[in-house]
Amino acid sequence: MEDCNLVSTPLDINQKLIKETHQRGKQETDYMKTVPYQEAIGSILYAAQVSRPDLSFAVGALSRFNNNPSKSHWIAVKRLFRYIKGTINYKLEYNLDIEGCLEGFSDTDWDSDSDDRKSTTGYLFKYQGGLISFNAKKQPTLALSTTEAEYKALASTSQEALWLQSLLR
């Protein structure tokens, strides 16, 4: 991946990541046994948790296939590495000149998982221009509409906001 072509997004929006239910050929099965899929996911997960929140959704989506990745999943992991290489200078910055006010943002991706139909919630909080809290994970229960998925996302975002406000006090 040292001389790879860079990409501007962590995942291809046209690629749907699904569990492979069909039988793979012997050649693909043998190839996937040689691929360090779980090691790659673990490395990216560490970066996502420590300093790169932009990787959270992508690595969360790809880690769902740790027990049985396919060639298409491995291609998505390599794309994520190409994104990381192109954004290697991204970093979290805090600015003392900005007034210390807590800003929060929330979003949801309704019905994003084709396998179990659960939505994904994401939120982030900034303080003094820098990110202090972020999360991206599947909702524990099925949402029947976009409105319900948004309410669930706002509920978890509100819980985090209340906790952060009490911490800042």
**What is the predicted pLDDT for the residue at 112?**
64
Percentages of the chain per state (helix, strand, coil), in multiples of 5: 45, 15, 40
Locate the DSSP E strands across the chain: 102-109, 120-127, 130-138
pLDDT in tens, 18-61: 777 667 788 888 888 899 999 999 999 988 887 788 898 899 88
Vertex 166, ends 162 and 169: CA angle to 5°?
140
Residue 28 resides in a domain? yes
pLDDT at 11 over 70: yes
Q: Are residues 86 and 136 both part of a single domain? A: no
**What is the predicted pLDDT for the residue at 91?**
78
The range of the structural domain enclosing residue 7 comes to: 1-91
- Please give the Cα distance from 60 to 93 (Å, whole number): 24
CB 74 within 8 A of CB 38: no
pLDDT in tens, 122-168: 899 998 888 899 888 888 888 888 899 999 999 999 999 999 999 98
Last residue of a domain, one of 26, 57, 91: 91
**What is the predicted pLDDT for the residue at 26?**
82
- Please give the Cα distance from 97 to 146 (Å, whole number): 38
Residue 37 resides in a domain? yes
Q: Are residues 112 and 72 both part of a single domain? A: no
Last residue of a domain, one of 67, 91, 115: 91
**What is the predicted pLDDT for the residue at 32?**
86
Last residue of a domain, one of 34, 65, 91: 91
CB 142 within 8 A of CB 117: yes
Number of domains composing the chain: 2
Q: Are residues 82 and 9 both part of a single domain? A: yes
* Amino acid present at 1: M
Residue 97 resides in a domain? no
Q: How confident is the model at residue 68 (pLDDT cuts 50, 70, 90)?
A: confident
CA 123 vs. chain centroid, Å, equals: 11
Q: Are residues 77 and 27 both part of a single domain? A: yes
Residue 96 resides in a domain? no
**What is the predicted pLDDT for the residue at 35?**
93
| Secondary structure in 3-state letters for 30-44 | HHHHHCCHHHHHHHH
